[in-house]
Structure 1
């Protein structure tokens, strides 16, 4: 597939998913009562279907979740003028947020109901500046290991022509969600 055909396919997939998000719950935060009984993969699948809200940061930084499967998450982003640093290049924080999202969501797909995660460590290498030749980039996260207390994952940020712009690794802490019966999660749901 040529780079132009690849970009067209990426844009078509983006429009399809954006329409699903726009017709669904939109950006926001779901209450624990809405997801406590779901596995991480089920949560991510319902988010993709528009049944659960997606993270508001995605709208702020112009990226969206495209695909999930067990141990994998794929995001697509549009680096633009709002993401520039004072030197006129895409801010490293934009790369990091997109990669962290792919890494964390990949880990999330591995968790059973009642379990959650948080990023404990994020390591990132920027290997090339994103320029005009990459109007879209993708961050693909894949789980390396998911245990009871720790999970690790790796991700790559690349353009439609396969150019690698950054890669990252994470260590996530995995923990039990507070119980909904009389606990903090129950109070937060009210």
Structure 2
């Protein structure tokens, strides 16, 4: 159980922060940037949920929980030492990726195929989900870059890749199952 009885610690006042394994790194380290962007995505998703209801809201709530799992995974480097950790490390699992894929397939089955690119917008929920999509892509790029330098759980990268696809399809669902999508008209304003 997590107990947060004091919010500020002053330990980061000199520009460094602790990772999940207790090691300290600069606050601008790529690992911190990657899990910080996952946190930003979670906050952005919280705003999107203000416009969601029913099953969509339940799915978004599950994703918010997954994003905390993702942050916990990304903040703990060196997976090879997981067995030595005092407490079991929380790592993203392929089952979380598979759940997203199944949900994408179910939503996509309700949509007509796209015949044009779409512009972010339409309903408020759709617009917010498109913002989530772009933040998820940024988090994915950061995790992929981190993986070129340090070990990153492959399931975490796969999850972010599927998640941006999930947000795209969900944004279409939020636009009256694609009927209210805003279509791109190439060169319309030349």
- TM-score relative to the length of structure 1: 0.28
| Structure number with higher strand proportion | 1
The structure that has the greater radius of gyration is: 2
Instruction: Compute the TM-score of the two structures, normalised by the length of structure 2.
Output: 0.28
Indicate the structure whose relative CO is greater, using CA pairs within 8 Å and at least 6 residues apart.
2
